């Protein structure tokens, strides 16, 4: 008797489908967010992962001010909107953290990722995805961290002056 036939005999079909879907979801890389992660003229950076651990997102603005769990707001308008900690993980498809700047300031932005806590679940490496939406452009990268590892430069992108003016913001000299 084949394994498929045994499962069909002893397990209701809906339960078998749910079990297969759950197993697949636990090993899948999270799907990217909707393309409009950032607002018009703004900057939005998301960190996505699927393991039940605590990763932290750091976004350093053009003035050199990092936005992260211990500095949730920057004078330039950057805000940490989502911070996942142990025991407060996202959906079955993964967890995410989000930093948003309502208006894109010209200059370089640096994104860092920290595997701060394994939450007593795993000491295995965790794959993450960073996505930044900036004035209609998307920047994206993936990486892997081991527990307590810090990736100081996961992604870097620049917002040119022209991009800021194209979204209606005037800069004074």
Per residue in 97-116, pLDDT (tens digit) is: 999 998 888 999 999 999 99
Residues 86 and 123 in one domain: yes
Residue 89 within any structural domain of the chain: yes
**Do residues 142 and 66 share a domain?**
yes
> Residue 51 — φ and ψ, nearest 5°?
-85, 150
Whether residues 148 and 63 fall in one domain? yes
Note whether residue 6 is domain-resident. Answer: yes
In a domain, 65, yes or no: yes
DSSP string of 50-80?
-SSSEEEEEEE-TTS-EEBTTB-B-TTSEEE
3-class SS letters over 78-123:
EEEEECCCCCCCCECCEEEEEEEECCCCCEEEEEEEEEEECCCCCC
* Structure token digits, residue 63: 């003035």
Q: Bridge-partner residues for 141, per DSSP?
A: 130
Residue 173 lies in a domain: no
For residues 68 and 100, membership in a common domain is answered with yes
Q: Are residues 12 and 52 in the same domain?
A: no
Please check whether residue 79 lies inside any domain of the structure.
Answer: yes
Range of the domain at 13: 1-29
The H or E element containing residue 138 is strand 137-145
Q: Are 94 and 48 in contact (CB under 8 A)?
A: yes
pLDDT tens string 105-161: 899 999 999 999 988 887 899 999 999 998 778 999 999 999 999 999 999 999 988
Percent of the chain with pLDDT over 90: 49
For 60, phi and psi rounded to 5 degrees? -100, 125
Residue 80 counted as domain residue: yes
**Same structural domain for residues 54 and 137?**
yes
pTM given for the model: 0.72
Domain count, the chain: 2
């Amino acid at each position: 008797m084949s394994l498929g036939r045994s499962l069909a005999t002893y397990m209701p079909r809906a339960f078998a489908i749910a079990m297969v879907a759950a197993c697949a979801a636990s090993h899948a890389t999270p799907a990217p967010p909707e393309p409009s992660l950032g607002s018009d003229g703004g900057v939005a950076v998301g960190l996505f992962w699927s393991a039940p651990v605590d990763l932290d997102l750091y976004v350093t603005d053009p003035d050199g001010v990092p936005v992260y769990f211990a500095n949730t707001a920057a004078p330039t308008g950057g805000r940490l909107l989502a911070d996942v900690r142990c025991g407060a993980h996202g959906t079955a498809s993964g967890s995410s953290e989000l930093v948003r700047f309502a208006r894109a300031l010209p200059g370089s932005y640096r994104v860092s990722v920290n595997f701060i806590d394994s939450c007593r679940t795993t000491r295995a490496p965790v794959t993450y995805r960073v996505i930044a939406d900036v004035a209609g452009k998307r920047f994206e990268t993936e990486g892997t961290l081991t527990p307590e590892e810090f990736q100081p430069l996961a992604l870097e992108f620049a917002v040119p002056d022209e991009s800021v003016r194209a979204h209606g913001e005037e800069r004074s000299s």
